[in-house]
Amino acid sequence: MHDERRRIEERVERLHNQRIKPALYAATVPLDIAAWQAPGEPVPFAEAAAAPYEPFVTGTPWGPPWGTTWFRMHGRVPENWAGRRVEAVIDLGFVGDWPGNQAEALVHLPDGTPLKAVNPLNQYVPIAHPAGGGERVDYLVEAASNPDILANDFAGPTPLGDVLTAGDAPLYTFRRADLAVLDEDVFHLDLDLHVLRELMAELGEHEPRRHEIMHALDHAMDLLDLDDIAGSAPAVRAALAPVLARPAHASAHIVSGVGHAHIDSAWLWPIRETKRKTSRTFSNVTALADEYEEFVFACSQAQQYEWVRDAYPKVWARIQEAVERGQWAPVGGMWVEADGNLPGGEALARQLIHGKRFFIEHFGIETKGVWLPDSFGYTAAYPQLAKLAGNEWFLTQKISWNQTNAFPHHTFWWEGIDGTRIFTHFPPVDTYNACFSGEEMARAVRNYREKGGATRSLAPFGWGDGGGGPTRELMERARRLRDLEGSPKVEVEHPDAFFAKARAEYEDAPVWVGELYLELHRATYTSQARTKQGNRRSEHLLREAELWATTAALHAPGYAYPHEQLDRLWKTVLLYQFHDILPGSSIAWVHREAEAEYARVAQELETLTAEAMAALGGGGARVFNTSPFDRAEVVRTADGTPVYVRVPAHGSAALTGTGTPPCPVEVSQRVLDNGLVRVEVAADGTLASVRDLRAGREVLADRGNLLRLHTDLPNYWDAWDIDKHYRNRYTDLLEPDSVTVVERDPLIGAIRVERSFGKGSRITQTITVRAGSPRIDFETEIDWHEAEKILKAGFPVDIRAPHSSAEIQFGHIQRPTHTNTSWEAARFEVSGHRWVHIAEPGYGVAVINDSTYGHDVTRTVRADGGTTTTVRLSLVRAPRVPDPGADQGRHRFTYSLLPGASIEDAVAEGYALNLPLRSADSAGAPRPVVSTEGDGVTVEAVKLADDGSGDVIVRIYESRGGRSGGLLRTGFPLAEAHLTDLLERPLGPTDTHGNTVPVTLRPFEIQTLRLTVDGT
């Protein structure tokens, strides 16, 4: 047989695209249109309905950046359309085919009922099926003119990312608003051709099935009447029916499809626009559920449900109905799809607590899995936290984006730092926005790494990132792919059903131990430093407010624990941990609002804490310690005088001074010496020497606190990525403006180094040593005006460390310092929380911070045979896309060097730096709510139970990485104690002895204790 593939394929392509697609609508009539431009921010429906409208014609430009234009549309279905499927078709002037970052609209009925949204891939609104003829159509359409931030493929910065800089020139030209008759035979023929053409293209040239499809298509096109596409469509479909009816092979891979509409809670649009996106997408999804009874839609992020509940009650009611029918699946059990690395341990717990509770309270459903397809790597603390929240499975997709190494599994057991395992899957289709294309289905089979052990994978389908969701076209594709030779079988089902089947057939799946590190987007540990600092500070302020509010509730008669206020503040902080806000990868508008919101949260929490302390009564000025460790530190009185105080964990002490340090601080020229460490500052402002006087050894192998300014232009994704070549070009900041002793006191010595550099940037660092502590603080102020640069602070330490240890949620993770394999080499920038620790047997050093996450650790062998291990903190970046002003301006933060540190020291000082001792006037001296005995038993949270019972909730964990045993002692009469899950539901009673609770913890184990106060 002659090879006619090219002729046939080109013939089918032309007829499909140029004749069949244009024939989808058999007849059209235009709608009458009037328009009103809403001033400023979006307005409620009632205000828009009462506004004055002006006549509007298609072809007219409309929509300033971030504007809202309301269109009033009306018309009448022609009498001769009776019995046919009639739709309104609206084209706002869409650009490209991505629904998420351009013009979008929500169509309302005259009474304000949201009906359906329109976007590039979903332009229709159903009128009637069949239409009665003569039916009147009246719509009020809320259209958002969101700018296309992705234009030019992120090639350069744009001012469109903030309403303050975007201008007011119209962005779109209105193209169409018609009533139209959908020709259902042509509609289905279009889908038949899509599925068969794409399947054919993926089959091998020597496979008979490919040629069978090709010739069937050729024959079917012979039946197409070019003068009567609609009339001949049934015959064409009939000719294709046999090849569409051929069943899949018995061994065909099974794809479990679940509807999905990934809606970033903020990214290239502000939060206020996400609130509207949810209403649009959820309206479309509930409409689709009415049309396709087998449809199942998975939706995470309780925050988005709450937005719809509060602002769009009619859409909320439709969601509830779809959940009741089993067509809508709440998943994920988190408040938002948070970043997978940066939120603190307690914050990740609260993400799960608030998310799970929302779905239980509003739908009576307890979600079974963590749904995080798009976060930029995943902490090794997740398996334990997920299990403690009652989850059975974990889903991600992002690891498929790895820049260097292909992840070896798609279905596996993920083991966390404590040994907890959770059944995990990431879809081999390599997207969470699947569209059931032939290429995607072939990719899923080709990629799937579990062949021979398992047979199925998951495919979340629907347009996403900015919403959109599944469409009827995708559902029709799924129907055709249900059982089709040459393709995997597609089953639309609930994610829980997929995971149950996957686990049943693959219980002995392989195990992956430790973090799921994404070999991409490593700059998200550093970009938008003020946003990250706001998160870190908010987490610790929440801890303080809860602890002291609990103390006051137990010891101050009449004090009312602020349940509702704390709940609201927690949810605000959780929202801003979304995986495009906290990582620093959003537009300027988002980060401007985040910084303002963090300031508001801080002010409110400071007030709550002050009120709780004031409620404790008289007793004079005192110092309060929120840390879980006893402290002996230098603090200042109201007039600035330094005093040395000892304060118990979770307790207080008189501010007058309660102890004497071992020896005073001596300051001479550029030397600080407190008898524990001796710090010599060089003339260039770096550390010439740090001598640990206790160990009798020099800490540094080279100049310390070396500030290095690197050129930082990644290949793509500016705010997200830092590529390895950044290391090749840099400037060391070695020419200070001044090096000056600024404090000379027996309790505090400080030297200030000031520098000017780059494009008008300045950095001021105060190097401080305090009596009684080996910790060296670097209080840093930066006025930053660089572009496409990253600033790092390096500490080359004379230690041969085989690995570094970095704090993560409820523990720490070890990473090799060598680069033996491509996996280690790919970790050239990593994340950590409050500290990084390096050690050789008998000696260690920690680098501690109050708001920094990104860092790198490298090692070299010197000419003398010794090894230098260098820890470098990533302080601030200057990407220009998507926020051209990212990180510009002032920053204030502190990092510290802790010589002679064990892991226990690093943990304690990490808490100390992030939870400064707090002074308050006229405060009493109640006993600490709880205290602990036993190495490694660390208290992470103290609060009252969320159910209002008055029970005290204490969350503890083992912080060293070893087995621990000890006691938890209460400062109140204890009636009974229970171990609970994260949602504070009892798992069983635990022993008590008076006011003590014995505790036993395995390495990094988390326990939540519910303590009932004895009120007798």
Residues tagged active-site: 374
Q: Where are the alpha helices (DSSP H) in 390-528?
A: 438-447, 472-480, 495-505
Residue 604: both structure tokens together? 């409110």
Element housing 47 (H / E)? helix 45-49
Distance CA 976, CA 181 (A): 70
Angle (CA) 253 255 256, round 5°: 145
SS3 873: strand
| Number of CB atoms found within 10 A of residue 121's CB | 17
CB atoms within 10 A of CB 235: 16
Asked if 905 and 911 touch (Cβ cutoff 8 Å), the reply is no
On whether the CB atoms of residues 427 and 459 are closer than 8 A, the answer is yes
Identify which of 393, 388, 420 has the alpha carbon closest to the alpha carbon of residue 496.
393
- Please list, residue by residue across 96-114, b when 16 or more beta carbons sit within 10 angstroms of its beta carbon and e when fewer do: eebbbbbbbbbbbeeeeeb
Neighbours of 1000 (CB within 10 A): 14
| Rg, C-alpha atoms of the chain | 31
Secondary element (H or E) of residue 611 = helix 588-615
Q: What DSSP assignment string belongs to 219-245?
A: HHHHT--TT-HHHHHHHHHHHHHHHHH
Q: Indicate the angle between helix axes 271-291 and 302-311, nearest 10 degrees.
A: 90
DSSP E strands, 771-882 = 776-784, 789-797, 803-808, 811-816, 830-831, 835-840, 843-849, 854-861, 867-877
| Side chain identity at residue 338, one-letter code | A
| DSSP-based three-state secondary structure for 708 | strand
Determine which helix (DSSP H) or strand (DSSP E) holds 595, and give its type and residue range: helix 588-615
Identify whether the C-beta of residue 578 lies closer than 8 Å to the C-beta of residue 593: no
Alpha-carbon separation of residue 610 from 204, 607, 919, 922 (angstroms): 72, 5, 10, 11
Burial of 247 (0-12, 13-18, 19+ CB in 10 A): exposed
CB-neighbour burial class of residue 315 (10 A; exposed 0-12, middle 13-18, buried 19+)? buried
- H/E run at residue 355: helix 345-363
Secondary structure, 3-state, 272-307: HHHHHHHHHHHHHHHHHHHHCCCCCEEECCHHHHHH
3-state secondary structure of 837: strand
Check whether the bond before 882 is cis (ω within 30° of 0). yes
CA distance 309 to 321: 13
Alpha helices in 156-227 (DSSP H): 184-202, 208-222
What SS3 class is residue 65?
Answer: coil
DSSP, collapsed to helix, strand or coil, labels residue 504 as helix
Place of tokens 């040593």: 769
**Among the listed residues 506, 337, 515, the one whose alpha carbon sits nearest the alpha carbon of residue 414:** 515
Tokens of 621: 């000025």
The alpha helices in 630-684, defined as continuous H runs, are none
